[in-house]
Amino acid sequence: MKGILHSRLLRLMFCVSVVFNFQFSTFNCNAQQPDSTLLRPPTTALQPQSSHSANRALLLSLLPGAGQVYNRQAWKVPIIYGAFAGMGYLIHYNYTRMDMFKTEYLYRVNNPGERQLEGYESYPDQNIYNLYNSYNRNFQLMVIITVGIYALNLIDAYVFGHLFDFQIDDNLAMSLSPSLAPLPTGLHPTLGLTFSF
């Protein structure tokens, strides 16, 4: 009875070792030659290339507002032209005042003791020069701001031309997916985190 039990136990151990060795050799075989489908990076569907061009939007915006219309942002056109109209008024106002005080100052320098500009007869010559200088600085500042608005018009058209095809929607998702990572000791299970938007 003892001999029968011993032989059955040996046969059971032999079967377990055969199964274990088979599993181990299969795992090592997979570790040495990993399945290429498991390690292949996920392929993304190629998006058709858009016909919308940021460079074209930039070229069109040389005429202020045209690039914004091309980018389908026509609501910006009144803002751009409103800013240009406001700056045009300020440039004209400061230039005419600057020119007026410049003419008065030069008249006083060339004709000592005489006054030409009505309402400013009591102003000393230095005050007339200070007024000219102040309006001259304001005129130059308004010109610089106008150039800055024009540059912003170009930058806005170019940037939003690049972002024209950028999709922003509420379809945001996060998913966890198991995968196998190849390491020197074989394939090891890992957990991957993917954000989709």
Quote the domain boundaries for residue 144: 54-162
Q: Does some domain include residue 112?
A: yes
Q: Is 80 exceeded by the pLDDT of residue 152?
A: yes
Cα(132)–Cα(30) distance, integer angstroms: 87
Domain count, the chain: 1
Sign of the alpha-carbon dihedral angle for 67, 71, 77, 83: negative
pLDDT (tens digit per residue) in 110-137: 988 888 888 888 889 999 999 999 999 9
Q: Does some domain include residue 136?
A: yes
Class of residue 111 by CB neighbours under 10 A (exposed 0-12, middle 13-18, buried 19+): exposed
pTM of this prediction exceeds 0.85: no
Per DSSP (E only), the strands in the chain are: 173-183, 186-196
Q: Does some domain include residue 100?
A: yes
Q: Does some domain include residue 123?
A: yes
Bridge partners for 190 per DSSP = 179
